Structure 1
């Protein structure tokens, strides 16, 4: 069956701090052999990465710009050589917030049978920190510190706890701490000052807030030769503290500091490097399906037409839930 798409819509930042659902162009050229066309069911809002473009923190963003990088899609049409999916299948793809998307057959991930699309698409978030976990030399059952319990930090803490680390998670926001506890995290606090017994004990720190104060605090609490991964993007300056204190802790603590950029792992596995973002997302979806990572109740579902209010609430810090999904069926 060949479908005709006359109207396609996407969520775009049409200017700084203004989002809208707008009509967008569609490539109606014939499908190549490995093309897939999908109708979006739900797409996931990243309150970190997308906020950067929305706020234009670094300057130079050319508006309008499409946004988003994760969606569950229902397959509508496939190319002649596509053998890994059938029309009607629900698959995951790293595509923008757009009603219809066109991808290659090696760019999709099968969603486990019986899994809600709303849950499967959240499997994108654990993969952000799993790159750091794969790279670290610190092994279970050491103590791990996680700062920032937005959705990336919440997923990070759950993954580390599931994999056998003793996780201490921190966020000054009470509601975020309550959500973390409801997801089964055992040690959740407002500040590292609340648990002096971990000072000098933790081997690994996962910084997911993007705030300098969190980095300073983690540095002062790691053991000798501990490791710190910077997972949260430091979009803007949030402190006047000088770097000397930070450098002193690194120097005398023999601390190893790494970028937590997820794409330091390959997108797909190879014979000599089986670890990849693709595999991390597959495994995360399985853990969510099996109840090993909790996602129930952490997200809000809204229509894409409500995108302006969603991004405004993210920028203002008034978002009620940990994350937001756009439901394209609404």
Structure 2
């Protein structure tokens, strides 16, 4: 079986690499990719070498991490997956991949692949929220309504049942999306955010000005979680951090992708397909390289890009 994978060989140097996949081991499955996604916050910064927190000197690099596909072959000791199952896995921009059985998450066939893919980042957002563990009556402020910010609003509202969620987002359409997901107030400018008001804050914007605003907006002894990836600025602690004795926590990856997906897919079935609108752009696999170029040049600015591979309806 020949695999095509999108590889980054240097700053803004993407190429498709072809290689022959090895034979399956007993605990592995072969997945044929149906759909994938560009997680713009983290992937574009890697492509442009603009993430100040990442060492960009080592190439080549694999790209992407959100993949949805069909199991087309299974190893002799695989017991939880069957040929024909639809799954989400973490291998990125490839048309085929071999993964261990326990690294694939089954997606019900009545869940569209656009929603199936979102379970990964939803679980990442959930982990940060769970670290803060707000009560229903706590007031929460989220900075940045990219994909992570929107999924954070969704989890706070649908799982944690938090009543009061405000967001800081200058983009009107993204702010409107947050309102549809349950946000109470949308602040388009940092000057609109009240001081000393919130018990918890979540940083999803990757900008220091937003992080600065969160520190000013939090109450004494409050907590803020940094969820943003592909950081554009270096974050700085403000006088309020010390004066209010704030706590800052970091969060990376998900808390438990398999357990979270069970909740997430059931909630998606109940609520319909409102989250799929996060994918503001749809492309084919062959359009990935020019899409990255257009993203880097600012010609397009979608929340998230859905990639459809050959042979899918």
**Normalization by structure 1: what TM-score?**
0.85
* Partner residue in 1 for 2:271: 291
What RMSD in Å do the two structures reach over aligned CA positions? 2.2
Counterpart Cα distance in 2 of 1:119 and 1:255: 36
1:15-164 equivalences under 5 Å are 15-20=10-15, 22-29=16-23, 31-57=24-50, 58-162=54-158, 163-164=160-161
Segment drifting more, 149-158 vs 185-194: 185-194
* Partner residue in 2 for 1:228: 224
Counterpart Cα distance in 1 of 2:198 and 2:296: 32
How many residue pairs get aligned? The number is 305
Over 3 Å counting, the alpha-carbon distance change for 1:54 and 1:230 in structure 2 is same
Segment drifting more, 278-287 vs 108-117: 278-287
Q: Specify every segment of 5 or more residues in structure 1 that has no aligned partner in the other structure, as ranges.
A: 266-275
Residue by residue over 1:206-231, the C-alpha shift from the partner in whole angstroms, topping out at 9 and shown as x without a partner, is 00011111111010010111101111
Residue by residue over 1:38-87, the C-alpha shift from the partner in whole angstroms, topping out at 9 and shown as x without a partner, is 10000121112212321223443333322111111101000111121211
Counterpart Cα distance in 2 of 1:61 and 1:25: 24
* Partner residue in 1 for 2:287: 306
Counterpart Cα distance in 2 of 1:175 and 1:315: 21
Contact 2:165–2:182, Cα closer than 8 Å, also in 1: no
Contact 1:205–1:218, Cα closer than 8 Å, also in 2: yes
Segment drifting more, 220-229 vs 63-72: 63-72
Counterpart Cα distance in 2 of 1:291 and 1:61: 44
After TM superposition, where is structure 1 displaced by more than 6 Å over at least 4 residues in a row?
none
Residue by residue over 1:79-129, the C-alpha shift from the partner in whole angstroms, topping out at 9 and shown as x without a partner, is 111121211111111112100010111111110241111211111111122
3-state SS of paired residue (1:39):
strand
3-state SS of paired residue (1:220):
helix
Residue by residue over 1:293-328, the C-alpha shift from the partner in whole angstroms, topping out at 9 and shown as x without a partner, is 831322122112111232234334443431011111
Counterpart Cα distance in 2 of 1:189 and 1:230: 19
3-state SS of paired residue (1:227):
strand
Aligned partner (choices 183, 186, 204) of residue 185 of structure 1: 183
Contact 1:34–1:80, Cα closer than 8 Å, also in 2: yes
3-state SS of paired residue (2:289):
helix
Counterpart Cα distance in 2 of 1:118 and 1:237: 30
Over 3 Å counting, the alpha-carbon distance change for 1:209 and 1:109 in structure 2 is same
Segment drifting more, 290-299 vs 204-213: 290-299
Structure 1 residue 262: Cα displacement: 3.0
**Normalization by structure 2: what TM-score?**
0.89
Counterpart Cα distance in 2 of 1:17 and 1:289: 39
Contact 2:294–2:300, Cα closer than 8 Å, also in 1: yes
